[in-house]
Amino acid sequence: MQIEITYEKEDWRKYSGYITSMLPKAVRSPLDKGWVNVLIWLYIGFFIVMILKNLESIHAPTAVYEAIFLSSLYLIFRPNKKKLLEAYAPMENGVFIGEHKYTFTDEGIGHTTDGYKGFHSWTNVIKIVRVNGMIMLFVDTESAFIFPEEKIEDPDALYNFALECNKALKKDAENNSAS
């Protein structure tokens, strides 16, 4: 099976959107634990009760200045997240944007672009995901071959072929290591 795709910036945006939404789920923090959240909310509740007890001692202009300061910090750092994501956007003359040719065989995936030729066996594919109109064949945590479904003639055939080849080779690898 051969597929030729011309990638555009919008394809990268879809992919990076998926990655930025999924990577935080892969890494858990202590804040994800229920008992930690209970302790935090107890602390916040205790702090609010202490403030309400001493309501007459709160200096209103200071509270307004603090609110303005915290709001300005939010306004400064929130847009920078978008700028950071744009900083990693592919260049027009880079290797992502442009024509890519993929060849799928029982052994693996061949990938050719202007100035690059590579091959990955199916054992390198660690995860196959179909979401948001894309089929992604992951070869690492965030590195994947991406196939926008609207740019493929038969996305179901590609998805089923990738699943079939990946499962078959994983079984072969397990059988070879067991014997």
Q: What is the model's pLDDT at position 166?
A: 78
Q: What is the model's pLDDT at position 144?
A: 86
**Mean pLDDT over all residues of the chain?**
78
| Range name among 2-11, 59-68, 158-167 with the lowest pLDDT average | 59-68
Task: Tell me: pLDDT of 15 over 80.
Answer: yes
Mean per-residue pLDDT for 122-142?
86
Residue 113 neighbours by CB distance under 10 Å: 15
Q: What is the model's pLDDT at position 111?
A: 92
Cβ–Cβ < 8 Å for 4, 99: yes
Task: Tell me: pLDDT of 114 over 80.
Answer: yes
* CA distances from residue 154 to 28, 104, 117 in whole angstroms, order as listed: 37, 14, 24
Mean per-residue pLDDT for 40-47?
75
Check residues 33 and 92 and name the one with the higher pLDDT.
Answer: 92
Q: Which fold has domain 2-11+96-178?
A: PH-domain like (2.30.29)
Check residues 52 and 134 and name the one with the higher pLDDT.
Answer: 134
Which pTM value belongs to this model? 0.64
Burial of 96 (0-12, 13-18, 19+ CB in 10 A): middle
Domain extent listing, the chain: 2-11+96-178, 21-87
